[in-house]
Structure 1
């Protein structure tokens, strides 16, 4: 179970929200609205928001442009993670990942089981790290976005969460996780310096 460490300062992240949809515009983008409200409410900054059709190359183009920006540390992608022929978000993102965050998809599906039952196996929520930028993809429904943010991301994108969070990976000035800090006992156990 995660805990907020009171002596660690909050580190706001710059975030971008990408909605993948063939039919939605900003007027109908309840999922993008929800993610914008949640991240802002948590103390982070929305740097940019965009909607693109469900097309591998358009998704990659936007994400690739965002990961090279110094003001964006995390990208939240909603939509295109289902199992229909038009759902291509995982295929667009996976080749870009330097490291996949497999546990995100596993935990998302576990949390979704309570609300959508075994249909959760059709959710292909994925996440990864691209050049020091975190990318989290989730289904496009507002309920799924709320599950991803409220049950997983709000803690993992908060530098105060212990024992671990992702903030120190994208903001070097943030305090590293307790499990990543060297201690004499841990160094001996792991054979460091031996």
Structure 2
């Protein structure tokens, strides 16, 4: 995914406010061995890009003054109530260094799960993204968790996620192995099922 930005020379609150008033968003690029670089981006293009899941979890080609660099989106500051992006941070990536980042979890086969279809179970997505480490070239846009066989009362954990080659959970996620999805039968449905199983008194 390509992002076009422009060099920004002025910093400070006043300069940033004037930028935003002219439809631009201030930002910064940092990391690797280069100096931090002040940039500005077209606000509307950035706003639409931020709505795409891949923009948050993919390596982006950021072009500034005709020079392209590979970056990850690291931080976005939004206005508390207006549809306005106040600032963005991008981090340069070194193709030979492992990076730690979060990627979305896509939940597969929930609609066909027997516990949901016939047992009245409800699957809750406890975690919607997971922290991984990999080389930039191996970074997936998302990872998948198969919900086909989860039964009522069961939960699936981080280690149940299918990870692509070259990708691993970061150490603390690996050791904690948090719950990612859980299947439960609501109390009302459980009572109804129990009532249906009762035989009427003679």
Q: Give TM-score, length-normalised by structure 1.
A: 0.24
Structure 1 or 2, whichever has the larger Rg, is 2
Q: Which has the higher contact order (CA 8 A, sep 6+)?
A: 1
More strand by share: 2
TM-score, structure 2 as length reference: 0.24
